[in-house]
Amino acid sequence: MLPCKRALVLSRRLATPCITPRTRRIHSAATAAAATTTAAAAAAAAAAAAAVNARSSVSEAELQKFVKVSQEWWDPQGAFKYLHTMNAPRIRFIRDILADVHRVTGEERDSTKWLAGKSVVDVGCGGGLASESLARLGLKVLGIDAAAENISIARVHNPGLFPQLEYKQTTAEQLVAQKEGAGFDAVVSLEVIEHVTDPVLFCKSLVELAKPGAPLLVSTMNRTLLSLLVDVVLPEYVLRSVPRGTHDHSKFITPRELREIFMSLGAQHLDTRGLILDPLSNQCHLVPADLGVFSNVGIQANYIMAFRKND
């Protein structure tokens, strides 16, 4: 962690004063993306914390970060701009994993028939960006978040998808304890795990929410020099498109650690993809972890991982 702190101080001293409005605009895309992801994660974390009095992975401090910016969830140019950009490739990936798990091939893959009625829980749904998209595919979606502000915004932004789409202010742990929502056909948690206090406990709840054989999808940020730059320094200190302190680089989890956590909890690893954001064209690309001979280059910053709960 020492080099990271040093880099932060350095960036604060050097980068900030020489930013012109123009460069700020150009670079703000990158920062904003990072910021949004952090915010979403924080929201999820907050939700988790608030819900459970007993053991919970939710951090109250993290939760408050997201409450502050919750009004901006559905503004495509707002603080969550890059979360909007990253949404489509992530949903496409989730859809592909579901198709693989259910062995849907050929032209049927592009239809929505096979998706209809399958249940998904979106843990740390924030303003409902991913939940709505999943519901639009025909899935029966339950979006949960520890922050009441997020849930009310998600509910207000209703594109007429009810009853496919339902929101609830609760945490993964609570949901497991209630037993009512257990046994989902898929569990999704996007940009949340880096904001929780106890990642292992959080992952345990995710696995418990899934039906045996059901896929689990988790996206977060790697703990590398690159992620420090593009997910923390640029958005929070250079472009200042994301409130400072939204992300704590030391809480980021590497793909290896995440894989080990889930394997120990009785899930097998299916796939890992990197998410690379192009701030100029405002497009997000899903890339393989290894690019040619360069292993793990694709997952140096944002990544998404798919697991399958053992039968």
Residue closer to another protein, measured from CB, 133 or 272: 133
**Binding of residue 133 to another protein (CB under 8 A):** yes
- Tokens 């249940």 locate to 119
98 part of the interface to another protein, by CB under 8 A = no
CB 58 to another protein: min, Å = 27
143: contact with another protein by CB under 8 A: no
User: What is the C-alpha R_g of the chain?
Assistant: 18
Cα 68 from Cα 303, distance rounded (Å): 26
**For another protein, what does the binding mask look like between residues 201 and 230, x meaning CB under 8 A?**
------------------------------
Stretch that binds another protein, among 30-38, 47-55, 133-141, 287-295 (CB under 8 A): 133-141
> Of 17-25, 91-99, 179-187, 216-224, which part binds another protein (CB under 8 A)?
91-99
Q: Order of strands across the sheet with 140-145?
A: 165-169, 140-145, 119-123, 186-190, 215-221, 302-309, 267-278, 283-288
Within 13 Å, how many C-alpha atoms sit on residue 102's CB side? 16
- Binders of another protein among residues 149 to 188 (CB under 8 A) are 159
Q: Which is nearer to another protein, 5 or 92 (CB)?
A: 92
Closest distance to another protein from the beta carbon of 258 (Å) = 24
- Out of 9, 14, 26, 88, the residue judged to bind another protein by CB under 8 A: 88
Q: Quote the least distance from Cβ 220 to another protein, whole Å.
A: 20
CA torsion, ordered 169, 274, 210, 119, to nearest 10 deg: 70
Please give the annotated binding residues for Mg(2+), written as ranges. Answer: 191, 194-195
Candidate residues 14, 16, 76, 295; the one interacting with another protein per rule CB under 8 A: 76
Q: Which of 19, 137, 201, 287 binds another protein (CB under 8 A)?
A: 137
| Residue with Cβ nearer another protein (94 or 299) | 94
- Exactly one of 42, 98, 135, 234 binds another protein (CB under 8 A); that residue is 135
Q: Restricting to residues 269-308, which ones interact with another protein according to CB under 8 A?
A: 282
In the complex, what is the shortest distance from the CB of residue 128 to another protein, in angstroms, rounded to a whole number?
12
- The answer to whether 128 and 157 have CB atoms below 8 angstroms apart is yes
Binding region for another protein (CB under 8 A): 76, 84-85, 87-89, 91-92, 95, 110, 132-137, 159, 282
